[in-house]
Amino acid sequence: MKIREVLKNGIFELNRYDIQEAKLKAEILLEYELKLSNEKLICLLEEEISSKQMRNFDKNLQKLIQGMPVQYITNCQNFYGLDLYVDKNVLIPQPDTEILVEEVIKIAKKMSEKPRILDVCTGSGAIAIALDKNIKAEIVASDISPKALEIAKKNAMAQKAKIKLVESDMFDKIEGKFDVIVSNPPYIRTEIIKQLSAEVKNEPVLALDGGKDGLEFYRILTEKSREYLKNNGVLAVEIGYDQKEQVIEIFQKSGFCQVDCKKDFGGNNRVVVGKWREICRSHQR
């Protein structure tokens, strides 16, 4: 059978099960199986595909239909121009998180010395590695999950990123002071998780569940980061689209100054940034 026919049948099958972006996902699976770029695939649509390749493609289609994210099938996700390894042990890095990376890059470039940066809840290492590739900084990345840290290490080695990885439940094993603390923490309310799409529910719950109100980790981050931020240090976090006011209030109650919110590519509130100053803390008393 020709590649064109296999692709057409794959798209039809995915559409039959209401899989979003059926054409794109069918193409990605074929590119993965045939080890071709998208451009090359389009050029070779009239070529024949082997029986083995067809069977593998069909198996992966069924995985998609059953709710497995395409990134877990191909073990790849592009983030900030980097192809990163991902599997079921880590959250799939999303384009909106690139806004968080951009904000931290801007902040770090304004600092006179080589900044020390901590990435809490690093997962695949996406944020830490993207920062390492774009600024000169000493970067520490932590996560509670040993399996996630294995993947972060794999990605760091593949990208030749010089980051220090620490297994830590939030700040438990963290040492020293930092100029910037950045985090994309779990922020989905516990009761909402069961309502998510099948694909999202295939991602690790540990990286999704933000507690009863979705704000548990922001309280920990703002409270504990005060001990680990240098004077004039910055805390930057990703938030849910509807959490702006609540997270800003948490920052301010914890004594952070100049708290601001940035929007993502879709115009949704996505990143909250605050500065830690001893003078701000004294004004809170």
Confidence check: pLDDT of 284 > 60: no
- The pLDDT assigned to 89 comes to 96
Segments making up each domain of the chain, as ranges: 3-66, 77-284
Give Cα separations from 177 to 21, 86, 188, 225, 234 (angstroms): 44, 30, 29, 9, 11
pLDDT in tens, 19-47: 999 999 999 999 999 999 999 999 999 99
- Judged against a pLDDT cut of 60, whether residue 285 lies above it is answered with no
How much is the mean pLDDT over the chain? 94
Average pLDDT over residues 60-71: 96
**What is the reported pLDDT for 79?**
98
Per CATH, domain 77-284 is 3.60.20.10: no
Q: Global pTM?
A: 0.93
pLDDT given for residue 193 in this prediction: 86
Digit-coded pLDDT (tens) for 261-271: 999 989 999 99
Give 155-208 pLDDT, tens digit per residue. 999 999 999 999 999 999 999 999 999 999 998 889 888 888 888 888 888 888
State yes or no: pLDDT of 120 exceeds 90.
yes
Q: How confident is the model at residue 279 (pLDDT cuts 50, 70, 90)?
A: low
Instruction: Give the 3-state secondary structure of the chain.
Output: CEHHHHHHHHHHHHHHCCCCCHHHHHHHHHHHHHCCCHHHHHHCCCCECCHHHHHHHHHHHHHHHCCCCHHHHHCCEEECCEEECCCCCCCCCCCCHHHHHHHHHHHHHCCCCCCEEEEECCCCCHHHHHHHHHCCCEEEEEECCHHHHHHHHHHHHHCCCCEEEEECCCCCCCCCCEEEEEECCCCECHHHHCCCCHHHHCCCHHHCECCCCCCHHHHHHHHHHHHHEEEEEEEEEECCCCCHHHHHHHHHHCCCEEEEEEECCCCCEEEEEEEECHHHHHHHC
Q: How far is it, in rounded angstroms, from Cα 77 to Cα 151? A: 13
Q: How far apart are CA 18 and CA 181, in angstroms?
A: 40
| CA–CA gap between residue 172 and residue 33 (Å, rounded) | 43
User: Out of 95-104, 131-140, 191-200, which region has the weakest mean confidence (pLDDT)?
Assistant: 191-200
Give percent of the chain above pLDDT 90.
87
Asked whether 219 and 170 are in contact (CB, 8 A), the reply is: no
Question: For residue range 214-248, what is the model confidence (pLDDT) as tens digits?
Answer: 999 999 999 999 999 999 999 999 999 999 999 99
